[in-house]
């Protein structure tokens, strides 16, 4: 009898303890969530409102370090360089076709941040894409570029020009950019392969505007002439960086004067051809070096269009970003470029050499020239 009573007492006390423990745990949980709610509510009430985000100037508000110091491994990416994940109907269509036909794009290979905007088209709905010819392995080893490097890449696909033209002409695009890896291993450095691709495109879709972003062909004028005479609309070749940083940034076989001579010779063959080049900023150049480079590009080579964009380190093996240039500096350089005679300057942190805003303007230049030529012909 005594043992039974003791057992019952222990059971009751255990049950009461368990109930009390659950009660206190429940109460502490409620207190925790109430405090978290009140803290969040206070943070929302005292924090920035929607108008703050609409009206804030990201560049002026940013307090992070924009210039790499000696004791820093790398810089933190500022907010104006962050982009949305690419998606959209036209983006998906182009991606499927490119994968199906085993084509390469510099948009993907070079990890371009504007791929969604270019492939989908913006408010004007002018969609653009940049196809990379002659494989995905380059014989050069530039320290800024994420394209794979090989001393002896695979032979070019003989069907690539026709397949590329067939794919491009099936897309809903107004402007195509063709580029290629450097092929120093080929006798003509791939120039005939590129020219053949352009000819196939123009044969199937004459009104499609074609820009070709070429290698420097080691300065071989015959290669430049082959491309110019292929009926393209825009001849582009990038000088990449200011003269002072060429050996640090580019492959040892490339240099500023050689690149400038490529653009000069393209104009000599066809003075009416639109020429274009590009500069990356943030590699350690000074503002005056950039302006002097722009002056030489315009005065010596008579280049029509220039793009200026922020260099972004593609992997840890590549050159570090020395500086994230503020958007206001890009705006100042755009105004300067226009003041010294460039027909168009696309300048901004996310601008790349094949940036669609530049292509939109170039399209208008070409259309205007075509209308003038047609009017002149009709008058005769």
Residue 305 labeled ligand binder: no
The DSSP 8-state label assigned to residue 67 in this structure reads B
Residue 145 labeled ligand binder: yes
Residue 212 labeled ligand binder: no
**Contact 127/173 with Cβ under 8 angstroms?**
yes
Spatial separation of the C-alpha atoms in residues 317 and 55, rounded to whole Å? 38
Spatial separation of the C-alpha atoms in residues 230 and 191, rounded to whole Å? 10
Alpha-helical segments (H) within 175-279? 191-204, 221-228, 246-249, 256-269
SS3 state at 221: helix
Residue 59 labeled ligand binder: no
**Contact 214/195 with Cβ under 8 angstroms?**
no
Alpha-helical segments (H) within 62-209? 89-100, 106-109, 115-120, 160-170, 191-204
Backbone angles phi and psi of 48, in degrees to 5: -70, 145
183 burial level (CB within 10 Å; 0-12, 13-18, 19+): buried
Residue 69 labeled ligand binder: no
**Contact 136/150 with Cβ under 8 angstroms?**
no
Residue 34 labeled ligand binder: no
Nearest to 117 by CA among 366, 380, 355, 358: 355
Q: H or E stretch including 105?
A: strand 104-105
What b/e readout covers 314-334, taking b as 16+ CB neighbours within 10 angstroms? eeeeebebbbbbbbebbeebb
Q: What proportions of the chain, in percent to the nearest 5, are helix, strand and coil? A: 50, 10, 40
Task: Report CA-CA distances (Å) from 66 to 79, 112, 274, 284, 375.
Answer: 12, 21, 35, 12, 52
Backbone angles phi and psi of 364, in degrees to 5: -65, -40
Residue 138 labeled ligand binder: yes
Binding residues for [4Fe-4S] cluster: 107, 112, 118, 138, 142, 145, 354
**Binding residue positions:** 107, 112, 118, 138, 142, 145, 354
């Amino acid at each position: 009898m005594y043992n039974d009573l003791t057992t019952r007492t222990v059971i009751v006390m255990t049950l009461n303890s368990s109930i009390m423990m659950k009660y206190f745990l429940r109460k502490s949980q409620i207190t925790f969530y109430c405090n978290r709610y009140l803290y969040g509510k206070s943070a929302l009430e005292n924090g920035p409102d929607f108008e703050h985000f609409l009206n804030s100037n990201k560049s002026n508000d940013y307090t992070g370090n924009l210039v790499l110091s000696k004791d820093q491994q790398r810089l933190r990416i500022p907010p104006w360089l962050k982009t949305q994940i690419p998606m959209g109907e036209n983006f998906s269509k182009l991606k499927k076709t490119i994968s199906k036909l085993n084509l390469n794009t510099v948009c993907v290979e070079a990890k371009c941040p504007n791929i969604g905007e270019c492939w989908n088209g913006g408010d004007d709905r002018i969609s653009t894409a940049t196809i990379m010819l002659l494989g995905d392995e380059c014989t050069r080893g530039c320290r800024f570029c994420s394209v794979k490097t090989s001393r002896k890449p695979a032979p070019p696909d003989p069907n690539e020009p026709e397949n590329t033209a067939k794919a491009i002409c099936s897309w809903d695009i107004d402007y195509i950019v063709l580029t290629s890896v450097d092929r120093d291993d080929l006798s003509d450095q791939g120039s005939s392969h590129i020219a053949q691709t352009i000819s196939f495109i123009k044969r199937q879709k004459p009104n499609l505007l074609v820009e070709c972003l070429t290698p420097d062909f080691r300065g071989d004028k015959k290669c430049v002439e082959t491309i110019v005479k292929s009926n393209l609309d825009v001849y582009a070749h990038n000088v990449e960086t200011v003269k002072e940083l060429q050996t640090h940034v580019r492959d040892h076989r490339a240099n500023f004067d050689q690149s400038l001579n490529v653009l000069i010779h393209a104009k000599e063959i066809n003075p009416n051809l639109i020429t274009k080049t590009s500069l990356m900023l943030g590699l350690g150049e000074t503002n005056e070096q950039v302006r002097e480079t722009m002056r030489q590009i315009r005065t010596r080579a008579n280049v029509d269009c220039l793009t200026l964009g922020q260099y972004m380190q593609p992997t840890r093996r590549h050159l570090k970003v020395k500086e994230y240039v503020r958007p206001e500096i890009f705006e100042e350089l755009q105004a300067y470029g226009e003041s010294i005679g460039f027909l168009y300057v696309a300048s901004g942190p996310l601008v790349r050499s094949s940036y669609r805003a530049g292509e939109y303007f170039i399209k208008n230049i070409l259309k205007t020239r075509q209308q003038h030529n047609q009017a002149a012909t009709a008058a005769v």
